[in-house]
Amino acid sequence: MGHTARGYRTGVAGLLLLVVVVALGVWLGGARQSREARQQVAANERGASAMLRVIAAAEEEFRAGDHDRNGVQDYWTRDVAGLCRFGGPGRPGALQHLPTDLAAADGAQAGCTPRNGYCFKAIPLADKAGFAFCAYPADYDRSGKWTFVLNEKRQFYRVDTGGEPIRRWAPDPTWLVLD
């Protein structure tokens, strides 16, 4: 009987060791995936911020060159896709800063195709003398958490909107000002 009990205990100990090893492997694998997911989200957020700066540079170029030929040095305030229509490599006088796939990431368009996990949208302003655009995560908490906003004064904001675009220009204390 002692021999059988010892074998049973050895078997149980081995089984427990196996369970611990498997659980540790799952935990470490999940931690690695979680770290990789966080790194991807951070990269998406950096990319969205950088793309807003590209939009702002294109807006300055648009204004300086009167690209809509209305005789007024103004900004394009309607939509991202519309601004992109004035861009294009190789087109004389075209806005050179805008990447070709940015128009597809316009959140105002049906069938928006996010660019690096983010959609972009023009924010309506009461004062037509400026512009504001936001970048918001296409899949909140998976592609990004923060919504970013940039205006013609190069004021850059970060706010958690739960993945929703900014619908109107109304900065409040929840909008963190970034450099």
Domain boundaries, the chain: 2-178
Q: How many CA atoms lie within 13 A of 52 on its CB side?
A: 30
The sign one gets for the Cα dihedral 156, 161, 163, 165 is negative
The pLDDT tens digits of the residues spanning 117-176 come to 999 999 998 877 899 999 999 999 999 999 999 999 999 999 999 999 999 888 889 898
What is the average pLDDT across 67-94? 81
5-28 pLDDT tens trace: 565 566 666 666 655 555 545 544
Determine whether 44 is exposed, middle or buried from the number of CB atoms within 10 Å of its CB (0-12, 13-18, 19+). Answer: buried
pLDDT for residue 43 is more than 90: yes
Whole-model pTM?
0.77
How far apart are the C-alpha atoms of 149 and 122, rounded to whole Å?
A: 10
